[in-house]
């Protein structure tokens, strides 16, 4: 079952069960997916839907930090609850050891040896780790590996 279909099925289930919170978040996700499809005149595949969902999580994390800085814990809690709902549709995150193993495999594959090869290495890693790891963390770990 595709990710879009799963979102639609979960939206129907949330309607039937009266889960207004999940329903609202799933509708936001579906709207973001539909908007991207309309803007680009394409049908999104699972990888592209994952990218949209990851962007939603990133936006909410940014909002949480801003709300906390402004002392609005009530609004930060709402954003955290939305993150939990969206993360149900994202693949499980890799731990740091798994990410380092993938980096080492990519270094062996590409022959990267210096910080000048970071772009080449990230080009190989991004499709492999998309949705499974925070790419900011991956980038930081790649820089550490290549500068060591």
Say yes or no to pLDDT of 128 above 90. Answer: no
At residue 139's C-alpha, the angle toward residues 119 and 136, to 5°, is: 130
Predicted pLDDT at 20: 94
148 versus 75: which is more confidently predicted? 75
Mean pLDDT of all residues belonging to the chain: 91
What span, in angstroms and rounded, lies between the C-alpha atoms of 83 and 102? 26
The candidate with the shortest Cα–Cα distance to 134, out of 98, 110, 88, 106, is 98
Q: What is the pTM assigned to this prediction?
A: 0.76
Give the number of other CB atoms < 10 A from CB of residue 18: 7
> Which residues neighbour 79 within 8 Å (Cβ) at sequence distance 6 or greater?
60, 61, 63, 64, 67
30-89 pLDDT per residue, tens: 999 999 999 999 999 888 898 899 899 999 999 999 999 999 999 999 999 999 999 999
């Amino acid at each position: 079952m595709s990710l879009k279909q799963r979102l639609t099925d979960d939206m129907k289930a949330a309607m039937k069960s009266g889960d207004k919170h999940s329903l609202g978040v799933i509708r936001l996700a579906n709207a973001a997916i539909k908007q991207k499809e309309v803007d680009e005149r394409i049908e999104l595949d699972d990888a592209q839907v994952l990218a949209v969902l990851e962007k939603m999580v990133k936006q909410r994390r940014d909002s949480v930090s801003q709300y906390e800085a402004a002392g609005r814990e009530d609004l930060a809690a709402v954003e955290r609850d939305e993150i939990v709902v969206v993360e149900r549709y994202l693949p499980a995150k890799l731990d740091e050891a798994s990410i380092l193993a993938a980096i080492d495999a990519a270094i062996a594959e590409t022959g990267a040896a210096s910080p000048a090869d970071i772009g080449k290495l990230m080009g190989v890693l991004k499709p492999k780790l998309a949705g499974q790891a925070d790419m900011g963390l991956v980038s930081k770990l790649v820089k550490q590996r290549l500068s060591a």
